A = this chain, B = another copy of it.
């Protein structure tokens, strides 16, 4: 298999949902992505934490074999996000964003990371996404995520990144916002027209729509979940499963990009992983997924979409 590199936030989250709350528990896109992706492949993390970041939280990644050489530790506090989900569990309301050590984050890749073939630029400043990508010598397959904040404040930079990646992951609402389109299908195509061959629009409990400029649409429903405890990290868990699965199919040395069929299989992998994340706070449910439970959930999903 090939390695997967992710750059993103390593955070402490305080989250309140109709099911309860979690105070300063482990979160951040790079954490969700890594734990999910590491079920399938070796993962390299690029990010920054403060001196308050606990060994126990580091251990969660280490136990999954995640390479932390790219995790910078600097004096100060770890990035802290506080949010709440009301009745509509599909949409977080941000109450507080304390960037802390993340404010001056300057991603420098360890030398041994520069040959990574599968690269995921999680939701951070698009200028930093570009900076990370420029340090990779010869990426095979690059994905990115973003959020409404960057669509508003740094749209030109964001579009620069989109031109350089193979696949964009975006929420339905963000796709509409970015393209100023009400119709999700038109919005997806307009995102693809900005550059990437593939666009994945994440639609929460309704699953995801994958669009390829060459192959058209693939529609993947979500796994039915009877109790959504905390949707935080669902999108990054999805992308993690997606990328980890793809990298697992390419022994290093194999040079061709993922095929359309492989991308569809990867969508199922992402769907399974995100369905688990949302069933508990923080990374608790996600970290429990092992090869055996994954296989079983994956079989359930295939059964549910097979005529």
A binding-site residues for B, Cβ under 8 Å: 87, 182-186, 203, 205-207, 209, 216-222, 224-228, 261, 264-265, 268, 302-305, 307
Chain A interface, >50% SS class? mixed
Distance of A186 Cα from B218 Cα, bound (Å): 27
Asked if residues A305 and B226 are in contact (CB atoms below 8 Å), the reply is no
Distance of A100 Cα from B173 Cα, bound (Å): 42
Closest to A263 in B: B307
List of B residues within 8 angstroms of A220 by Cβ: 221
- A185's contact among B224, B303, B307, by CB below 8 Å, is which? B224
> Which 5 residue pairs across A and B have the least CB separation, nearest first?
A219-B221, A206-B206, A185-B224, A264-B307, A217-B304
Asked if residues B216 and A303 are in contact (CB atoms below 8 Å), the reply is yes
Asked if residues B216 and A265 are in contact (CB atoms below 8 Å), the reply is no
Copies in the complex: 2
List of B residues within 8 angstroms of A307 by Cβ: 218, 261, 264-265, 268, 302, 305
Shortest CB-to-CB span from A288 to chain B, Å, is 21
- A183's contact among B218, B227, B268, by CB below 8 Å, is which? B227
Asked if residues B219 and A304 are in contact (CB atoms below 8 Å), the reply is yes
